[in-house]
Each structure stands twice: as structure tokens, then as C-alpha cells.
Amino acid sequence: MELSTATPQAPIKGQDGLHPDGQYASLAKWFHWLTVPLLFTALATGLVIRFMKDDAKMPFYALHESLGLLILALALARLAFRGISKPPALPAHIPESQQRVAALVHHALYAALVVQPLLGFLTTNAYGFPMQGATAFLGFIDLPKFMEAAPGLAGVLHWMHSLIGWAFPFLLGAHIGGAIYHHAIRRDGTLLRML
């Protein structure tokens, strides 16, 4: 009788019949799926503000800025949780080149989810419109004013904020496209890890 010399594999976090490659923790899933509608609404309001009449812009600014700060809070909470609850590693059957691209897109999305709201918040302050009164956070929470109006700085910050805003559709397209590719074409369990 031969004894097996194979080393037993460590169990994969969250592995079950529906999730053969493991899955994210429930709280990580909540962070992800709460961010999705907030982000799409923030992007939509950011795109239409420039086309609004001046007397109708303030509610859109208030909503856009409040969503941005909620997204920032969720992103920071996600990163903190990720530090204590590591997601399952990508399975070995996913080619290394795809793993690298996935890591790049994820890192870029996390960076944008943190940097973009900060730039927006600093931009409005630099324009002389802190989140107070008509543009208070969530419509009723006045946030402190962090600087005096600085139009030159505001222009630079606004340009950076717009640049990242236009990068979001490409990052989201890569992220969503990758998930669809893995689910519909490769038919592996990648998408299921977040469901």
C-alpha cells in the first residue's frame, strides 16, 4: 500500500459548491455593492451639472458632493477591512497576465475612489463654496471650511478632478468587462466570488 506524499492544500476562504474558488467576506460584498449605485449616480450628476441652468445647479452640486464623500468613506472602510480580512487569492487557473491586469485595474479603482472625492472636496473649497448651507453634506450637515477661495488652485484641482472623472468609465468598463469575460466566456467562478 502506497502512502500519498502530496501536501494537503489549505482550504480556500469561503469555498463551497457555488464558490469553488472561494469568495469575499459578506462585509466586503456589502461595501462593493453599496459603492456601485453611489458611484454611477455621482458620475451621472457630475456629467449633467455643466448643462444645468445656474438656478438649478445647487441641488445637483449638493447631491454630487455628498455622494462623493459617502464613496470616500466606503472606500476607506473597504481598504481598512481589506487589511484585516484578506480576499481569497485569484485561482491558479487564471493566467498570470490576466491576474496582473486585474490587480492593476483594482488598484487604479481603489486609488480613484479615494483621490477623486478628495479632489472634488478641495476644489469646491478652493472655489469658495465649502459644503455649507445649500450644498451641505447630505443637505443638512455643514462641513468646516478648509481654505479661503483660491481661483488658481481651484482651476488646477478642477482639471485633475475632471481627468479622473473621465478615467472612471474606462476603469469601470475594464472591471465590468473582465467580470463578464470570466463569467460568460471562461465560465470560471471569478464573478461569483463577489456574489
pLDDT band at 147 (very low <50, low <70, confident <90, very high): confident
Confirm if 159 and 86 have CB atoms less than 8 A apart.
no
82-101: pLDDT as tens digits: 999 888 888 888 899 999 99
9-57: pLDDT as tens digits: 455 666 655 666 778 889 999 999 999 999 999 999 999 988 888 888 8
d(CA 134, CA 189): 46
Which of 74-83, 121-130, 132-141 comes out lowest in average pLDDT?
132-141
Q: What mean pLDDT comes out for the span 98-115?
A: 95
Residue 7 domain-assigned (yes or no): no
Residue 1 domain-assigned (yes or no): no
Residue 13 domain-assigned (yes or no): no
Q: Mean pLDDT, the chain, as a whole number? A: 87
In which domain, by residue range, is 81 found? 26-190
Question: How many C-beta neighbours within 10 Å does residue 159 have?
Answer: 11
Residue 111 or residue 141, greater confidence: 111
Question: How many C-beta neighbours within 10 Å does residue 148 have?
Answer: 8
- Percent of the chain scored above 70 by pLDDT? 90
Can you give the three-state secondary structure of 20-81, one letter per residue? CCCCCCHHHHHHHHHHHHHHHHHHHHHHHHHHCCHHHHHHHHHHHHHHHHHHHHHHHHHHHH
Residue 16 domain-assigned (yes or no): no
pLDDT band at 145 (very low <50, low <70, confident <90, very high): confident
Q: What mean pLDDT comes out for the span 143-149?
A: 87
User: Distance of CA 22 to CAs 17, 39, 176, Å?
Assistant: 9, 26, 19
d(CA 39, CA 192): 21
**Nearest CA among 184, 17, 174, 36 for reference residue 101:** 174
CATH number at residue 31: 1.20.950
Residue 18 domain-assigned (yes or no): no
pLDDT for position 16: 57
Residue 167 or residue 54, greater confidence: 167
How many domains does the chain contain in total? 1
